Structure 1
Amino acid sequence: MEPLLAQLRAAAEPTRLRLLALCARGAFCVTELCAILGQSQPRLSRHLKLLVEAGLLERLPEGANVYFQLPPDADLARLMLARLPEDDLTIAADRRAAARIAADRARAASEAFRRDGADWDEMRALELPSPAIEAALLAQVEAHFGAGRLGRIADIGTGTGRLLELLAPRAEALLGLDASREMLALARARLGERGIANASVRLADMYRLPLPDGGFDAATLQMVLHYAEDPAAALAEAARLLRPEGLLLVVDLAPHVRAELLSGFAHRWPGFDDAAMAGWMGAAGCAPLPPVTLDGPLPVKLWPARRLAVPVVALPEPALTF
């Protein structure tokens, strides 16, 4: 009973309830929350500390900033927020201020990328058939899970967060993971501008994801593996996140002869063939499903796989006799 009472006490204060309402719609850092609520940083930091200690918010460090958002299991917080009247003037004003913050984020992130000359939209830069790729990915999700709503999805190497936006209507919760703070800024701006409240992003290394085993229904890696030094290890880490019968979806280039991609785009691999992908997936405890080929200027494939209930155990090497 005490944890429940602690959460109720933590939420029973106007500023803290406003903070919960804001962080339920996206992740914000302290300076952004100060700007939205018009309160001092020491005051808000104290409120945030109480909410984190009660388990109503989670704290996500990212470089010099720390972002706050509702954790996936914050059912009590969501229940309380559902009782807030939609026409509450204070909450409505907070949401308008948060929308301005989201727009400022998008402008700042886009300007930084233009200034640094980085081409962050690789699908567009390589003229890949984005609509066909997205349609194929959604078809795999529907084939695996049916028309019902999904639970949790992890998008590894989320980039600008386009997959989070695409899958948000089908999922209860989505988490985008990326090692680039700049990409996360773009993804966070996308989610905020579109009002996608069931998705969040987090700084993470795809070889050491700070997440428990078996906590997700699906994991996606779109145009990520060709940057990986060790694709097998990246796939094994993605598979670790999946519950039994969970879906692993990999979208990447098939073998090609475009050598300039290795230098100009810093690709580590000139595409992947079906045999290599099937071997890595099998070693990660997944059963490969038939791949899907997508036509375009570069060969693109979608490799789906199903997480096995019992991981595959390698057989011992036979003893040599002479």
Structure 2
Amino acid sequence: MPAAAHASLDTILAGLAAAGEVTRLRLLVLLAEVELTVSELVAILGQSQPRVSRHLKLLAESGLVTRHREGAWAFFRLADRGAAAGLARDAIARIDPNDPVIAADRARLVGIREQRAAIAARYFASQAADWDRVRSLHAPEAEVEACIADIIGDGHFHAVLDLGTGTGRMLELLAPRADRAVGIDQSPAMLNVARARLEQANLRNVQLRQGDIHALPVERNAYDIVIVHQVLHYLDEPGRALREAARTLCAGGRLIVVDFAPHELESLREDHAHRRLGFAREDIESFMRDAGLEVLAHHDLAPPKGVREKLTVSIWVGRDRRVISDVHVLNSEVA
């Protein structure tokens, strides 16, 4: 995590006042582990929904926790930025993990995580046959992921954004190399799958948000790496989505697009809701240039031999044209 920012006396006092109550301190410890809904926190703490909601409201107003909506649900997590964020983490680090109250809360949290994993597993099982068929038509996922890793190269990143995160696999690969990582998906069911997967990987620097890829609920000018993996073929306006993605890049940041080359498998449109039957190289490169990006590279990964219906996976890389030294004059804007 980045170093904590200095804060005013008023901010520190407000944070201390918000954290200085036993239930709210228990909430901070839980939300440092994983993002949780009000109903999940009610089940863990054994308190009423109005009481838990009131505590969460105070913590959010003080900047110690953040809240984001996902359909009918609201998820809370410990703040990872802002003047008060470091205060909460410092306090949590000083709590004895063997304290009986904290230990009991964490034991009940294990049950919540097991419930999430079971729900995600049921959904994934219901979709697995369709996904397996599509995967069998193109290069193995390991080959695609190796190519992405080679493109990204070595090093550590400040922030990574995964658009249409699906099962969260790209976050699982990239989040360990970032200070923070954010995944966006329109589907609450897919976010449940991703949440369970990332919790099993013990990745605490990841945030998952429900959102529209055409109107992203994230900061502008903030991400070193933005990846759009097997998403564009579902969209009516892929160029618009890439323009929106480009706005989230920091100076010199890179946009990686993974999708299919042009093909004639109408069954993917009929059975899997694909809107586009792949993209020509020049189409995506044109979208990138229209978004103000420099096109850096293009790669094609051939399908397995012996497969009658074949899909070529294409990977494009674009880069924000601004130089790194310009970043200090940019004001981050919330989408």
**TM, length-normalised to structure 1:** 0.88
Question: Could you tell me whether the CA contact under 8 Å between 1:113 and 1:120 is conserved in 2?
Answer: no
Q: Does 1:133 align with 2:140?
A: no
1:113 positional shift? 5.4
Aligned partner of 1:9 in structure 2 is 17
Q: Which residue pairs with 1:28 in the alignment?
A: 36
| Structure 2: segments with no counterpart, 5+ residues | 1-8, 305-310, 324-335
Partner of 1:260: 267
1:190 alignment partner, one of 197, 208, 214: 197
The answer for the alignment partner of 2:234 in structure 1 is 227
The corresponding residue for 1:83 is 94
List structure 1 segments (4+ residues) > 6 angstroms apart after TM superposition.
none
Distance in 2 (CA, whole Å) between partners of 1:123 and 1:113 is 11
CA distance in 2, matches of 1:252, 1:206: 16
Residue type at the aligned position of 2:226: A
Q: From the superposition, tell whether residues 93 and 166 of structure 1 become closer, same or farther in structure 2 (CA, over 3 Å).
A: farther
Q: Quick one: which amino acid aligns to residue 287 of structure 2? A: W
Alignment of 1:1-322 (within 5 A): 1-73=9-81, 74-112=85-123, 114=125, 117-119=126-128, 122=131, 125-127=134-136, 128=138, 129-142=140-153, 146-147=154-155, 149-297=156-304, 298-309=311-322
- The DSSP-based 3-state class of the residue aligned with 1:291 is strand
Aligned 8 A contact 1:99 1:192 in 2: no
Change (3 A) 1:242 1:183: same
Q: Matches of 1:120 and 1:212 in 2, distance apart? A: 36
Residue type matched to 2:90 in 1? L
Is this contact kept in 1: 2:65–2:78, CA < 8 A? yes
Identity of aligned residues (%): 43
2:297 is paired with a residue of what secondary structure?
coil
- Per the alignment, residue 316 of structure 1 pairs with none
C-alpha distance in 2 between matches for 1:83 and 1:118? 44
* 273-282 or 95-104: bigger deviation: 95-104
Alpha-carbon separation, structure 1, partners of 2:172 and 2:78: 18
- What is the CA deviation profile of residues 183-236 of structure 1, one whole-angstrom value per residue up to 9, with x for unaligned ones? 111111222233221112111000001222102111111000000111110001
Instruction: Give the stretch that moved more between structures: 260-269 or 122-131.
Output: 122-131
Matched to 1:274, the amino acid is: R
Q: Which residue number in structure 1 is paired with residue 331 of structure 2?
A: none
Contact 1:217/1:247, CA 8 A, preserved across alignment: yes
Contact 1:214 1:243 in 2 (8 A): yes
* Whole-Å separation in 2 of the counterparts to 1:124 and 1:92: 44
- Give the TM-score taking structure 2 as reference length: 0.85
| Letter aligned with residue 321 of structure 2 | L
Structure 1: gaps (5+ residues): 311-322
Change (3 A) 1:136 1:121: farther
> Would the alpha carbon gap of residues 85 and 110 (structure 1) be closer, same or farther in structure 2, given more than 3 Å must change?
same
The alignment yields a C-alpha RMSD, in angstroms, of: 1.9
CA displacement at 1:84 relative to structure 2: 2.7
Residues 84 and 285 (structure 1 numbering): CA distance in 2 closer, same or farther, change over 3 Å? farther
